[in-house]
A and B are shown apart, each in its own frame.
Chain A
Amino acid sequence: MDEKPDDRHQSIHATTPVVGSELTFGSVTDKISAIVLKRKTPFGWFVGFAISFALFQLMMLAIINLLFKGIGLWGVNIPVGWGLDILNFVWWIGIGHAGTLISAILLLLRQRWRTSINRFAEAMTLFAVAQAGVFPLMHLGRPWLGYWLFPYPNTMGIWPQFRSPLMWDVFAVSTYATVSALFWFVGLIPDFATLRDRANNKSFRLVYGMLAMGWRGSARHWHRYETAYLLLAGLATPLVLSVHTIVSFDFAVGIIPGWHATIFPPYFVGGAIYAGFAMVLLLTIPLRKLYGLESFITMRHMHNMAKVMLATGLIVVYGYMIEAFFGWYSGNQYERFMIWNRMHGPYAPYYWALILCNGVTPQLLWFKKIRSNLLVLWLISLVVSIGMWLERFVIVVTSLHRDFLPSSWGFYSPTQWDWAMFIGTIGFFFALLFLFIRFLPMISIFEMRTILPEAEVDEG
């Protein structure tokens, strides 16, 4: 769209500036901080926030009802003991991975284009992890006893089972949430100071001032800051792999055909990043338009994100192929039945929809024309998000509902309360996002300044 075909080589190899050339130190600060401090809140914001807040209330209602009546409200039962709850957990936590990848791994790989989207993607990570946490916590049945999951000396004689990946999940996810929150907050500190200095309103100044924790922007501050930020990036990097690897162990260490596959760790991590980038695109494309951020988030960002989505999508497709092939190659009748049942059993439409959404549609991204068309790119991201949800449905439900003994087969369908919880978390997620874009700078101001042409210093 904004690149001539001949520029292709250059755009890929990062020799051209990442952002619009008209930006300067001053205009960057003005433009981003104005969204929070000066610009009138658009009407659309109120509508969007109202809708998502209402959906959030639906989640609260679903939770209250659940606490009164119990897990029986959900569709889970024997043989499908894990239904929408675990699958939504996996879906949400996967979405978070793109944020960590963008903020930590791309930072370490010195991919400077990440700067325009990392703040936003990190916020998305944090909010997605919050949604993910809701499901296992509620599935406990008595969430107020959730602290029993932690190993602490007690008089009840209980101790967590350390050989269970579910236990590792508790540690992995809580570490993930903590590090993501810290990383996000530390990244925000210099920008809090900018907002503090620019706010005309006294209460804004007070709140941003407290959050800025006395930031003065001295050389010593920056020196310490850079070290801390890099260290946090180093800490966050293994989490991109470890969290979803452990989530995949939840399934893979069992002996259920369809769950017990050694390919699961890389396949899950690939899928998580895939879903995450789909969600980042799903959110940035409209936001960029609404707030006029085209010079910050350029077509180059869109291309790069689309390419990451394509690459991770191919990992997932590899997973489907390998699963199907080994289902047959293993020679094990249960493995063979599992694959047959996915393709021809009662949930076959889900399986084929998943192949269509995750396997076929993203192949369009091979074409530059399609990557340049934002509407199509947005639609593909939507399809991928749905596809990743279907993938988890297929993995969780079709593997469980027909196991080794035909006499114990069953069928699972989610109840209205399952759906209420799921839709409610989507509302909660968006409500948090709306608050974020209204009250915090959605693009990192100080990091943006470093990638401007103005910041180029001739070292020679």
Chain B
Amino acid sequence: MIQAGYTPPRDLKRVSTLALAVGALFFALLVFGLLVDRTQFFHAYLVGFIFWIGITIGSMALLMLQHLTGGAWGLIIRRVLEAATRTLPLMLMLFIPVLVGLNQIYTWTNRAEMDQVPVLREKAAHYLNPAFFMMRAALYFAIWSLMALLLNWLSLQHDRTADRRFSKRLQMISGPGLGLLILTITFASIDWVMSLDPAWSSTIYGLIFVASWSLSALAFGILVMSWLAKREPMNAVVRTSHFHDWGNLMMALVMLWMYFAFSQYLIIWSANLPEETVWFVARKHGGWGVIALGIVILQFVFPFLTLLSRAAKKSPQRLGMLALLILLTRVVDVIWLIEPSFNREHFHLSWMDLVAPFAIGGLWIATFAWQLQKRSLVPINDPQLEQALAAHAGH
């Protein structure tokens, strides 16, 4: 159902193939890693999985945000975000290895050990146990799949029929949907990442994930848009004003992430309770301290200063480069969140931690590029399309 004029560029097919090849190559490396060091494989695998599911789910959050608020910025990037949410079946499949490696990844699977610590005994009995963990994961995926299905299906119907009821329904589900999404992200982040340190907890943790997953998704979306902006047919559609708006949103998300992350740090540092500081201690000593500082600089200070400039926000190349930098830093951030939980005593970084994001990423991007080809790159019947395409569009 592709309208003439907004047909996705042919290059996408090449991208898909190339990504698949790169993914396969890195996966082969990873399988070699599995044979060498099974435990380390699963740790690295979790890094890759969390990074990419973040883009899938973050895209869903941005998609609903743009349905709620409207505006030209969301209309032009909508199809990219939609294609990103359609990678969810792949991510569901890629979740299976996490379940296989549950014992290698999560210490709470060892009940005998958990029962020795009074604080953990009850937690393991009622919450952090494999059965309930899988049930909750099934619930998150069920909710996410339902939302992704609805968002994509309604949008397609609207393209086909131009019936305003569909776009209205999209708006209606986006309000409650966004609430539900924030809740599921929160609990998924507790289950999948926070519980790596079963004794530790922080109440803002879920919101940090909401902000950083949305940031990953937007950075990815901007990267794709700056690639598409050079090609038919989007070179005639995308305007610098759209990049300006995305740049502003990226600025907002960068600040939101820093606000949450810094609040968590300051409150824990200030109270100085040993059961809480232990998390930061593990992430500050050895090389992790330098990495933490690097994350703050590359995921906040540098983007913040760059995005103050209007020229940088309006240039597809510069904004695209910045988005790429943020994406790479996000990978490091995920490694920093996950890896120190496994080696508290000393700094340890494996080559697999760097390989896994590319292995999963290859498959993810191949799926994404394949899905992006399936529909018109612009929602053709949207009531706001004319305004968005106008010369003075986007304010």
| Bound Cα distance from A116 to B8, whole angstroms | 44
Q: Chain A residues near B395 (CB, 8 Å)?
A: 110
Overall SS of chain B's interface: helix
Provide the residues of chain B in CB contact with A13, threshold 8 Å: 70-71, 384
Interface SS majority for chain A:
helix
Interchain CA distance A20-B114 in the complex, whole Å? 66
CA–CA, A6 and B203, complex, Å: 42
Binary contact track A315-348/B, C-beta < 8 Å → 1, others 0:
0001001110010011110000000000000000
B317 touches A (CB below 8 Å): no
At the interface, yes or no: A42 with Cβ under 8 Å from chain B? no
Complex formed: what's the CA distance from A290 to B275 in Å? 58
- Given the interface pairs A266-B204, A314-B179, the reply to whether A329 lies near B70 with Cβ below 8 Å is no
Q: Which of A241, A253, A326, A331 contacts B270 (CB 8 A)?
A: A253
Which of B37-45, B99-107, B261-269 lies at the binding interface? Answer: B261-269
- Pick from A142-150, A177-185, A255-263, A350-358 the stretch touching chain B: A255-263
Contacts of A401-460 to chain B: CB distance below 8 A: 459-460
Whether A12 contacts B263 in the complex (CB less than 8 A), given A254-B271, A263-B207, A330-B201, comes out as no
A12, A245, A322, A366: the one contacting B203 at CB < 8 Å is A322
Q: Does B259 contact A (CB under 8 A)?
A: yes
CA distance A366 to B268 in the complex (A): 37
Question: Using Cβ atoms and an 8 Å threshold, which residues of chain B touch A89?
Answer: none
- For A307, the closest partner residue in chain B by CB is B175
Interface centre among A254, A255, A260, A329 (most CB of B within 10 A): A329
| B168 at the binding interface (Cβ < 8 Å) | yes
B122 within 8 Å of A (CB atoms): yes
Q: How many residues of A contact B (CB 8 A)?
A: 37
Residues of chain A contacted by B123 (CB below 8 angstroms): 329, 331
Distance in Å from the Cβ of A12 to the closest Cβ of chain B?
6
B183 touches A318 (CB 8 A): yes
CB of A173 closer than 8 Å to a CB of B: no
CB pair A331 B119 closer than 8 Å = yes
Chain A, 242-282, CB within 8 A of any chain B CB: 245, 249, 252-255, 260-266
Asked whether A9 lies within 8 Å of B267 as measured between CB atoms, the reply is no
For window 170-186 of B, CB contacts with A under 8 Å fall at 171, 175-176, 179, 182-183, 186
* Across-interface contacts of B153 in A (CB, < 8 A): none
> Is residue B164 contacting chain A, with contact meaning CB distance below 8 A?
yes
> From B190, which residue of chain A is reached at the shortest CB distance?
A329
A399 nearest CB across to chain B (Å): 14
Besides A9-B168, A261-B204, A322-B186, 6 more A-B contacts (Cβ < 8 Å) are A260-B271, A261-B203, A264-B263, A318-B183, A329-B190, A331-B123
Q: List 7 A-B contacts (CB under 8 A).
A: A9-B171, A13-B71, A163-B270, A253-B267, A261-B203, A262-B204, A331-B118
Interface residues of B (CB under 8 A from A): 70-71, 118-120, 122-123, 127, 164, 167-168, 171, 175-176, 179, 182-183, 186, 190, 199, 201-207, 259-260, 263-264, 266-268, 270-271, 273, 275, 383-384, 387, 391-392, 395
The 4 closest A-B pairs by CB, nearest first: A263-B203, A331-B119, A253-B270, A262-B204
